[in-house]
Amino acid sequence: MNNAFAQKQAWIRINQLGYTPAGKKVAVWAGKEKFMLDKFKLVHAKTGKTVLEHTVGKDFGAYGPFVQSFRLDFSQVADTGSYFLEAQGVKSPTFRIAKDVYQGAADFTLRYMRQQRTLFNPYLADSCHTHDGFALYGGKSGLPDSTNVDAGGGWHDASDYLQYSTTSANATYHLLAAYRDFPQVFGDQKLANGLGGRNGIADVLDEAKWGLDWLVKMHPKPTWMFNQIADDRDHASMRMPGEDPFYGRGYERPVYFIDGLPQQRGKFMNRTTGTSSTAAKFTSAFLLGADLLKPIDKRYAKMLSTKAQTAFEYAHIKLGVTQTVSVKSPYIYAEENWKDDMELAAALQFRYHKKASFKQQAFDYARAEPITPWMTTDTAAHYQWYPFINLGHYELAKVSQGKEKAELLQFYKTGIAQVWERAKENAFYRGVPFIWCSNNLTVSFAIQCQWYEQLAHDTTYAELAQANIDWLFGANPWGTSMVYGLPAWGDTPVDPHSAFTKLKNFPIDGGLVDGPVYTSIFKNLIGIQLHQADAYADFQSDLVVYHDDYGDYSTNEPTMDGTASLIYLLASQEQKALEEPKVKK
């Protein structure tokens, strides 16, 4: 086979960050023509010496744009260094095997969270949305429509400037959990306001507190809680963060009250059924925040503990889900599950207050939703099953033993097995559905696999977990990382759906973009128009597409909550590498 032809018709996809010495190390060969492929080589990049020659194993056949695909497993090589893979004239990019391939990655992704801050934005060294906002739907709780409320702070949700309590509380929880579980991997290079300097507090905890401060404002009284600032009228123009005179009240933006009832603005009615999903997320973030911040600020921690209790009571006002509000378009966060949120809240209540009734309540909710529903199907509505991982199973399992713990771990295992049934049929081990924000699901699934392995001491799905991490950093049909600027030397997004990059050419370091979607979804979304020639045209298919193009908000828009989950995942990888046994250099 002519080498030049081979390079144009076949590719070896790798994790561009690299691989750890003791970890699973697999690349994916993918070809648009049939090759007689039986062996591959791992070559030391500096010496040119072949350090491994191995059979390729099973041909997984067609997937997406490819007609042939193989998994190239070189896990047996533990020597550190720079390498490339080669088979039938096709060479992979050079990559490293080293214990430090994830070092600093979690702190790098924190840059995006700081850049998403509203009120004072440290990246811009300026303030925005200083007049938020005026209340809607709070009349029955003594808060007439158009009453001014202090709701400034938090993070912009994505490349628009809406703010949602459900995603912010989940993001805050993931940041707090990352600090709790992996404190030694995070640095202290920023002050609490996000500007340069040291304050003796890990930057991830500073960022989590920024989220907590806003959640406190969104639950200012025991009988008041807000779900959302602004709505899709925000999308009237792409602009830098600033004041937004789109809402009929000058620079103030609407702040939507949680009343447990369906809400309608314009022609679109959401399907809210209760107060539980958002209020329970508040509860969990407040409880974990109180625990972690107590050594730093006892008064603040006590206030968070009180807020946790009133938020838990709010969750019980009307059991059900709270959805977001849209005015001009049909797209909302169409969350339909809430029992997972109540499980997590009750599990943490038990952990911190030791009341058996909380544990029983948590188990009741765990059994009511044992598997996060997206795992059992290949499609779902936008944010229909959120969070994309059942956080409660993990927290409850940690305070359980015997049959109770085994039951929770079986819930995790059953969900993972459902995804594995789809994943094992293709060389990328891809079993996560290509719905909107598929990368967020990918991160969450990798975390669930790791938690199962950690608690069950079962490595059955270790390679599947690693395949999902590898996917995020280049072992995918397009050969690109899904994180802006990570790694700095790799193929990463350069034209995301972001005003920062489009209008000012500012980097959005660390932002996790939405990720590939089914082609059928892409073709039916409103207002998408590619602005440039498709750099990945050769790798699109009838199955799935991904575009590094500002005009595609469905695959290339970064999200705050997805990035927060990624911070947890990357921190876990850095910690795991630190704990690996020593190998020869």
- Lowest average pLDDT, out of 160-164, 201-205, 208-212, 301-305, goes to 160-164
d(C-alpha 16, C-alpha 447), whole Å: 20
Quick check: 13 and 31 in contact, CB under 8 A?
Answer: no
Q: Within a 10 A sphere around the Cβ of 507, how many other Cβ atoms?
A: 18
Dihedral (Cα; 447, 347, 352, 296), 10-degree rounding? 30
- Mapped to the 3 state alphabet, what secondary structure does 421-444 carry? HHHCCCCCCCCCCCCCCHHHHHHH
What is the spatial distance between Cα 20 and Cα 96, in angstroms, rounded to a whole number? 8
Beta strands in 129-183 (DSSP E): 134-136, 163-164
Residue 323's pLDDT is 96
C-alpha 530/C-alpha 551 separation (Å) is 5
Q: What is the pLDDT of residue 232?
A: 84
Please list the residues that pair with 69 across neighbouring strands: 30
Mean pLDDT of the region 534-554: 95
User: Which residues on neighbouring strands pair with residue 136, listed in sequence order?
Assistant: 256
For 41-52, what is the mean pLDDT? 97
Write the DSSP assignment of 225-291 as a string of letters: -EEEES-GGGGGS---SS----SSSTT--EEEE--SS--EETTEE-----SHHHHHHHHHHHHHHHH
Q: What is the CA radius of gyration of the chain?
A: 24
**Helix intervals (H) in 77-141:** 105-115
Mean of all residue pLDDT scores within the chain: 95
Please determine, for residue 6, whether its predicted confidence score (pLDDT) is greater than 80.
no
High-pLDDT (> 70) share of the chain, %:
97
pLDDT confidence of 2, banded at 50, 70, 90? very low
Q: Which stretch of DSSP H or E encloses residue 70? A: strand 68-73
Instruction: Please state, in angstroms and rounded to a whole number, the distance separating the CA atoms of residues 463 and 445.
Output: 13
* The pLDDT value given to residue 1: 43
Query: Which CA distances in Å does 233 have to 187, 238, 262, 326?
Result: 38, 11, 19, 8
Identify the pLDDT of residue 245: 67
Model confidence pTM above 0.85: yes
Contacts of residue 491, Cβ cutoff 8 Å, sequence gap at least 6:
16, 474, 479, 480, 481
Give the tens place of pLDDT for each residue, 220-255.
Answer: 999 999 999 998 888 778 888 876 667 767 788 999
pLDDT tens digit sequence for 169-180: 999 999 999 999
Element (H, E) at 73: strand 68-73
Burial letters for 561-581: b for 16+ Cβ neighbours within 10 Å, e otherwise?
bbbbbbbbbbbbbbbbbeeee
- Tens of pLDDT along 429-475? 999 999 999 999 999 999 999 999 999 999 999 999 999 999 999 99
